[in-house]
């Protein structure tokens, strides 16, 4: 082995150690059954579950960023993840809707919080009553997300919530009382070569809310048997969630069960169900809650959180039509550094996300500006001159965010050029520059060759107010236009010949 090789492998070892040190745990929800769940599991049949009725549950989305507003989980990512959340709960006949606008919070300490206690502080300061409060952050106390019962809210790590992740469904499962199928194994690595104990001890002191500062919390959980003899008491207390001892992220095989073989205390081999959203199996394995988990979540809403069920008719119809962009399109030339984007109204859409980008690929690194509006227009200001921009929209409503982007369109801002830059025009005179409504505006110009020439009146957003003329000019040309129906304001007259544009500013009093 060469010296260089030794250096390289040492370096690689250092890197991998670093990565391990920064590894996040999938979930930091306190691994403990709530009093409500304990009572429910004693007599689940005594709790109403509302049959097959769809239950609509409001969610407040808090988008946390740094002090300077960086690091937000992007709107398209929120919409895509919220769509996945509703798909994950469709079998449960529970659907979520976005309550109010997204709540943007600029606070670096909350955005990157290493301690649950800081997350607690963030939640208590910002929670909206009677909704499931979800905080999307950049560091979630070293985890992919957690539900904090003492603050009645959940935190989601932004990078762990995108790209088809089921983390949101997992944490809302916790929020609605359900625990991990491996309850008790949190922080206890399973070892196939050691006899499996009948009880596991687990310490969830680190998950404590701030008001337990001096208390160490240690609890025990029965280890669940394959034979289902203790399934109502062991682990999560549900009999239709099979045994699972895997408390760190794991992958599944082609049958959707753990690659890791496990042995119960009776030495019976089994593999864990990777499909359960409440397991730590990877997103690719996840796909369902069990009927008992679903029954508990529905009963929890109806008995413990009935105040959440105040709106059972949210706007959640699917948006099926493709968005149509109206203006500006086809690389239209905009005479100023502001523009009014407009698009067609879409059935079932109540909100539109728009974005303006420097590239037609809409690479997030080249995002210029973005926002959400309720109508079909958006004002964009402070653009650069002589620059091509691309824009697109994504429609959604409070209950259906399974949206898609429109096709991209483009426009170019033009810097006003001197009239001498229009080849062939020798002189141009527009007067008066300041005129009262109803007064005539005069235009005179001289060309030294035959030129196709058109003039249009624009407002300062670059919108066409009215055409003035469109003709072929050879030599001296003059015309006048009556400004009868033009409201007071500042306007631009754009003179265009072939590719060249010249703007003259006028004011109507």
Residue 279 as a binder of Zn ion (CB under 5 A): the answer is: no
User: 3-class secondary structure for 274-331?
Assistant: CCECCCCECCCCCCECCHHHHHHHHHHHHHCCHHHCCCCCCCCCCCCCCCCEEECCCC
Instruction: Give 29 or 196: the residue with its C-beta nearer to Zn ion.
Output: 29
Rounded-to-integer distance, Cα 54 and Cα 411, Å: 45
Whole-angstrom distance, CA of residue 437 vs CA of residue 420: 30
Contact string 5-44 vs Zn ion (x = CB under 5 A): ----------------------x-x---------------
**Alpha helical stretches, state H, 64-157:** 75-88, 108-111, 116-126
User: What's the closest the beta carbon of residue 145 comes to Zn ion, in angstroms?
Assistant: 8
Q: How far apart are CA 206 and CA 227, in angstroms?
A: 33
What's the rounded Cα separation, in Å, for the pair 275 and 258? 10
Nearer to Zn ion, 176 or 419 (CB): 176
Phi–psi pair at 450, nearest 5 degrees? -75, 125
Q: How far is CA 29 from CA 140, 170, 382, 400, in A?
A: 11, 10, 45, 28
Minimum CB–partner distance for residue 402 and Zn ion (Å):
25
Shortest distance in whole angstroms from residue 333 CB to Zn ion: 54
Q: Closest distance between Zn ion and the C-beta of residue 170, in Å?
A: 5
Give whichever of 29 and 160 is closer to Zn ion, judged by the CB atom. Answer: 29
Which residue lies nearer to Zn ion by CB, 236 or 398? Answer: 236
By beta-carbon proximity to Zn ion, the closer residue of 27 and 37 is: 27
* Separation of CA 66 from chain center: 17
**Closest separation between CB of residue 156 and Zn ion, Å?**
12
Number of residues that bind Zn ion (CB under 5 A): 2
Strand pairing class (262-263; 425-431): unpaired
CB-CB contact of 222 with 198 (8 Å)? yes
Q: How far is the CB of 346 from Zn ion (least distance, A)?
A: 37
Q: Which is nearer to Zn ion, 123 or 508 (CB)?
A: 123
CB of 373 to Zn ion, least distance (A): 36
| Residue with smaller CB distance to Zn ion, 41 or 357 | 41
Q: What CA–CA distances, in Å, run from 354 to 88, 188, 370, 393, 488?
A: 27, 47, 5, 4, 30
Question: What's the gap between Cα 284 and its chain centre?
Answer: 20
Cβ distance to Zn ion smaller for residue 166 or 298: 166
Distance in Å, CB of 141 to Zn ion, minimum: 13
- Do 286 and 275 meet the contact criterion of CB atoms below 8 Å apart? yes
Binding positions for Zn ion, 193-252, rule CB under 5 A: none
Chain positions contacting Zn ion, by CB under 5 A: 27, 29
């Amino acid at each position: 082995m060469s010296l260089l090789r030794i250096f390289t492998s040492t370096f690689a070892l250092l890197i991998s150690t670093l990565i391990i040190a920064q590894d996040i745990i999938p979930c930091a929800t306190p691994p403990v059954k709530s009093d409500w769940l304990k009572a429910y599991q004693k007599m689940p049949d005594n709790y109403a579950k509302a049959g097959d009725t769809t239950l609509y549950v409001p969610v407040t989305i808090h988008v946390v960023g740094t002090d300077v507003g960086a690091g937000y989980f992007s709107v398209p990512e929120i919409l895509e993840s919220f769509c996945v959340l509703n798909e994950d709960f469709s079998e449960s006949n529970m659907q979520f809707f976005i309550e109010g606008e997204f709540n943007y919070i600029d606070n670096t300490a909350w955005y990157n919080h290493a301690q649950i206690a800081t997350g607690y502080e963030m939640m208590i300061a910002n929670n909206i009553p009677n909704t499931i409060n979800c905080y999307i952050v950049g560091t979630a106390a070293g985890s992919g997300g957690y539900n904090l019962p003492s603050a009645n809210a959940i935190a989601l790590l932004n990078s762990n919530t995108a790209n088809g992740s089921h983390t949101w469904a997992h944490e809302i499962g916790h929020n609605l009382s359900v625990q991990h199928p491996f309850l008790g194994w949190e922080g206890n690595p399973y070892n196939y070569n050691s006899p499996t104990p009948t009880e596991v001890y687990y310490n969830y002191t680190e998950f404590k809310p701030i008001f337990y500062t001096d208390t160490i919390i240690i609890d025990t959980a029965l280890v669940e048997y394959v034979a289902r003899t203790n399934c109502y008491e062991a682990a999560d207390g549900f009999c239709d969630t099979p045994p699972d001892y895997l408390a760190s992220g794991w992958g599944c095989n082609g049958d959707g069960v753990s690659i890791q073989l496990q042995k119960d205390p009776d030495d019976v081999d089994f593999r864990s169900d990777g499909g359960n959203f409440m397991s730590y199996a990877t997103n690719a394995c996840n796909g369902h809650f069990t009927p008992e988990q679903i029954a508990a979540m529905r009963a929890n809403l109806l008995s413990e959180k009935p105040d959440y069920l105040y709106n059972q008719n949210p706007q959640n119809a699917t948006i099926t039509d493709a968005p149509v962009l109206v203006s500006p399109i086809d690389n239209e030339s905009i005479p100023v550094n502001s523009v009014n984007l407009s698009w067609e109204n879409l059935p079932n859409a109540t909100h539109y996300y728009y974005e303006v980008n420097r590239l037609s690929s809409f690479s997030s690194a080249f995002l210029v500006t973005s926002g959400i509006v309720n109508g079909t227009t958006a004002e964009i200001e402070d653009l650069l001159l002589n620059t091509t921009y691309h824009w697109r929209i994504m429609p959604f409503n409070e209950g259906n965010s399974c949206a898609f982007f429109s096709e991209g369109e483009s426009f170019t801002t033009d810097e006003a050029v001197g009239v001498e830059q229009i080849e062939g025009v020798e002189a141009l005179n527009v007067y008066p520059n300041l005129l009262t409504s109803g007064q005539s505006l005069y235009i005179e110009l001289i060309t030294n060759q035959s030129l196709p020439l058109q003039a249009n009146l624009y407002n300062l957003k670059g919108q066409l107010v009215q055409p003035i003329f469109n003709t072929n000019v050879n030599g001296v040309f003059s015309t006048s236009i009556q400004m009868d129906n033009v409201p007071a304001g500042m306007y631009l007259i754009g003179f265009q010949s072939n590719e060249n544009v010249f703007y003259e500013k006028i004011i109507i009093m």
